[in-house]
Amino acid sequence: MMSASSAYLRQFTVSGDKTPVFFGLYTTGEREYKLMQYAYDKTVPSVQEETLSVYSMKEDRTVAQAVYAFQSSHPEVKVDYRFAAGAAVGRRYQEPEYGAFGRQRCGCGYT
């Protein structure tokens, strides 16, 4: 079963002159931090060609986290999560499009 924990962005910075590398520091709980690295990858298309649509009757944090986990593992697929009822009826959850700036894991094991 998937947990419903969240990650919050605490700091975002860029380094590098010719090829920029971006770093995001996230907190995922009390005294638990994760460092993510984002780098330019010219082999990644700027627009995802495939879309996975996920529908539910109401907003569900576990579904949203599953959508996030899938999108993290499959950046080539655009995920569109819609729900019919909840705090924000009809609102769409959609992972940002990274284009050529694909997600890359650093040595911290963030998933």
CA–CA separation, 41 and 73 (whole Å): 16
Confidence class for position 5, pLDDT limits 50, 70, 90? low
Q: Quick one: which of 105, 91, 87, 93 has its CA closest to 63?
A: 93
Confidence class for position 31, pLDDT limits 50, 70, 90? confident
CA–CA separation, 11 and 35 (whole Å): 10
Name the most confidently modeled range: 19-23, 42-46, 92-96.
19-23
Q: What pLDDT, in 10s, does the model give residues 96-107?
A: 444 444 444 333
**Domain limits of the chain?**
8-104
How much is the average pLDDT of 37-63? Answer: 85
**Is the distance from CB of 54 to CB of 95 less than 8 angstroms?**
no
17 phi and psi, to 5 degrees? -95, -60
